Amino acid sequence: MELEQEELTGSDEVSEGKAAYPATASTKKVFVKTYGCQMNVYDSQRMSDALAADGYAGTDRIEEADLVLLNTCHIREKAAEKVYSELGRIKALKAERAARGHEMVIGVAGCVAQAEGREIIRRQSAVDLVIGPQTYHRLPEALRRARRGEKIVETEYAIEDKFEHLPKPRRSEIIGRGVTAFLTVQEGCDKFCTFCVVPYTRGSEVSRPVSQIVAEAMKLAEAGVRELTLLGQNVNAWHGEGPDGREWGLGRLLYRLAEIPGIARLRYTTSHPRDMDDELIEAHRDLPSLMPYLHLPVQAGSDRILKAMNRRHKAADYIRLIERIRAARPDMALSGDFIVGFPGETDADFEDTMELIRSVEYAQAYSFKYSPRPGTPGADMKDHVAEAVKDERLQRLQALLSTQMHAFNLAMSGKTMDLLIEKPGRQHAQRVGRSPWLQPVVVDETAGEIGDIITVRITRTGHNSLFAEPV
């Protein structure tokens, strides 16, 4: 899964207890905590929708929750272990609530649920419910059984289409969530990179049909969404039959979504270099609403390591691909994922990765020390790299990447660009939006309303954000 947006040294926690719905005295309350990638963010939202239909209101106060749901990430060991320490804390809260005569059902969803199943309840008996990503539409029913005291483990791949069975987002529920939205178009992965758990936790590749995607996108647009980010573990492998009876790829789908009134910006994540086809590159050339920012992980720059990782492309293929993409869209900025210390990685292999980074020049990047994952081929390989070596390589790689990111931001000074205003700023009388390259941009609140796209000039570049004035 290449779509995890974890800061360079950041945490796996994405969001906590988002109160999506107002609570009333009669409703039960759910606290949701989301770890990992944007697909988990999207899934948490859909689970909240399903629970809302069942009388649960969101809360951001865990101690008052009748249901605590952790939507977990299994991508690296650190992410998975965090769940157990969190569960330990929640167990104590559950006991406190029980002493006051209230229930607290504890549910574990997401990729740890899928990978570890019943083992989670064995390790932490306070857990009542374990539910994998393919069975979220069964959550309300599973929850009813859990509340009757049954221990529930739902990790089988359902044959029915979960998206068809999850409640459709209602306009009233979407309004107020913001002007940007995620839309899952594809799930799972058939690539089997040897370090990655995703093919096991999210299953094999499934594409949602065009009609479902377009209907959901139109609903989001009607509710005020201006920017859509299409999600998939291998989003550019998406394919489906179009209304013309022909097989569509992601490029064709983007042309269709660009026609929806109100949708001013399109993005997609995460892509695999092997699936960047001509039509997708042409879409970048032709569609002004397709933003000039692409997350295209390469993982490593050594052909030997790429082969051991089963990436099925060479470093030179990747560089050539980037040249073609930049030829189609000259202002394209690149983002990537990197793993250091994959088994067998020598100093020379690592230098190849550094060289690739120097030649691409990234605007953004996420980098990780290799973490052996149970059940993946990488875990059984020999020549594991010593932790201290991984640390040292990661430090050097991140230093190089952060120089590039910094240079990318600095180069924005004085530039004129479009800005989508997304929310109020932290300071009084400010608003924050995003540049086409995903950078947060701060403007005065008089510059425009939330949801407006305005033209601004960058007056100052800060460490993480840019500052601008309207032109």
Residue span binding ligand SF4 (CB under 6 A) among the ranges 96-104, 188-196, 382-390, 450-458: 188-196
Q: Is 233 in the site for ligand SF4 (CB under 6 A)?
A: yes
Residue span binding ligand 5AD (CB under 6 A) among the ranges 38-46, 355-363, 366-374, 460-468: 366-374
User: Whole-angstrom Cα distance, residue 283 to residue 330?
Assistant: 13
Q: Which of residues 269-298 bind ligand SF4 (CB under 6 A)?
A: 272
Select from 28, 373, 390, 434 the one that contacts ligand 5AD (CB under 6 A). 373
Q: Is 371 in the site for ligand 5AD (CB under 6 A)?
A: yes
Q: Is 191 in the site for ligand SF4 (CB under 6 A)?
A: yes
User: From the CB of 33, what's the least distance to ligand SF4, in Å?
Assistant: 23
Tokens of 24: 């009333």
With b meaning 16 or more CB within 10 Å and e meaning fewer, what string describes 350-362? Answer: bebbbebbeebeb
User: Whole-angstrom Cα distance, residue 461 to residue 328?
Assistant: 28
**Residue 108 contact, options ligand SF4, ligand 5AD, none, Cβ 5-8 Å cut-off depending on partner type:** none
**Residue 371 contact, options ligand 5AD, ligand SF4, none, Cβ 5-8 Å cut-off depending on partner type:** ligand 5AD
- Report how many residues bind ligand SF4 under the rule CB under 6 A: 12
Select from 14, 52, 129, 196 the one that contacts ligand 5AD (CB under 6 A). 196
Task: Report the relative pairing of strands 206-207 and 247-249 from DSSP bridges.
Answer: unpaired
Task: Report the relative pairing of strands 186-187 and 206-207 from DSSP bridges.
Answer: antiparallel
Residue span binding ligand 5AD (CB under 6 A) among the ranges 204-212, 363-371, 418-426, 460-468: 363-371
Select from 42, 195, 293, 437 the one that contacts ligand 5AD (CB under 6 A). 195
User: Whole-angstrom Cα distance, residue 260 to residue 217?
Assistant: 8
User: From the CB of 200, what's the least distance to ligand 5AD, in Å?
Assistant: 11
Residue span binding ligand 5AD (CB under 6 A) among the ranges 101-109, 252-260, 364-372, 397-405: 364-372
Bridge partners for 456 per DSSP: 417, 470
Question: x/- string (CB under 6 A) for ligand 5AD, residues 260-289?
Answer: ------------------------------
Q: Which of residues 290-309 bind ligand 5AD (CB under 6 A)?
A: 297, 299
Q: Is 376 in the site for ligand SF4 (CB under 6 A)?
A: no
Task: Report the relative pairing of strands 129-131 and 105-109 from DSSP bridges.
Answer: parallel
User: Whole-angstrom Cα distance, residue 73 to residue 81?
Assistant: 10
The three state secondary structure string of 326-374 is HHHCCCCEEEEEEEECCCCCCHHHHHHHHHHHHHHCCCEEEEEECCCCC
Q: Is 187 in the site for ligand 5AD (CB under 6 A)?
A: no
Q: Which of residues 2-31 bind ligand 5AD (CB under 6 A)?
A: 2, 4
Q: Is 199 in the site for ligand SF4 (CB under 6 A)?
A: yes
Q: Is 79 in the site for ligand SF4 (CB under 6 A)?
A: no
User: What H or E segment, with its residue span, contains residue 214?
Assistant: helix 210-222
User: Whole-angstrom Cα distance, residue 158 to residue 386?
Assistant: 41
Residue span binding ligand SF4 (CB under 6 A) among the ranges 47-55, 171-179, 191-199, 243-251: 191-199
Q: Is 250 in the site for ligand SF4 (CB under 6 A)?
A: no
Q: Is 198 in the site for ligand SF4 (CB under 6 A)?
A: yes
Give yes or no for a contact between 36 and 111, defined as CB atoms under 8 angstroms apart.
yes
Q: Which is nearer to ligand SF4, 40 or 233 (CB)?
A: 233
Question: x/- string (CB under 6 A) for ligand 5AD, residues 145-184?
Answer: ----------------------------------------
Q: Is 201 in the site for ligand 5AD (CB under 6 A)?
A: no
Q: What separation, in Å, do the N-terminal and C-terminal C-alpha atoms of the chain show? A: 40
Contacts of 446 (CB under 8 A, 6+ apart): 429
DSSP 3-state percent helix, strand, coil across the chain (nearest 5): 40, 25, 40
Task: Report the relative pairing of strands 265-269 and 227-231 from DSSP bridges.
Answer: parallel
Give yes or no for a contact between 344 and 335, defined as CB atoms under 8 angstroms apart.
no
Residue span binding ligand SF4 (CB under 6 A) among the ranges 52-60, 190-198, 250-258, 432-440: 190-198
Task: For residue 334, give the nearest of 363, 367, 305 by alpha carbon.
Answer: 363
Q: Is 135 in the site for ligand 5AD (CB under 6 A)?
A: no
Tokens of 14: 């994405």
User: Whole-angstrom Cα distance, residue 55 to residue 449?
Assistant: 33
Select from 21, 56, 238, 370 the one that contacts ligand 5AD (CB under 6 A). 370
Give the SS3 label for residue 5: coil
Residue span binding ligand 5AD (CB under 6 A) among the ranges 22-30, 286-294, 370-378, 415-423: 370-378
Measured CA distances, 241 to 147, 209, 212, 213, 260 (Å): 42, 7, 11, 12, 19
Give yes or no for a contact between 447 and 454, defined as CB atoms under 8 angstroms apart.
yes
- Report how many residues bind ligand 5AD under the rule CB under 6 A: 15
Select from 13, 84, 126, 192 the one that contacts ligand SF4 (CB under 6 A). 192
Instruction: Give me the residues that bind ligand 5AD (CB under 6 A), please.
Output: 1-2, 4, 75-76, 195-196, 297, 299, 337, 339, 368, 370-371, 373
Instruction: Give me the residues that bind ligand SF4 (CB under 6 A), please.
Output: 1-2, 189, 191-193, 196, 198-199, 233-234, 272
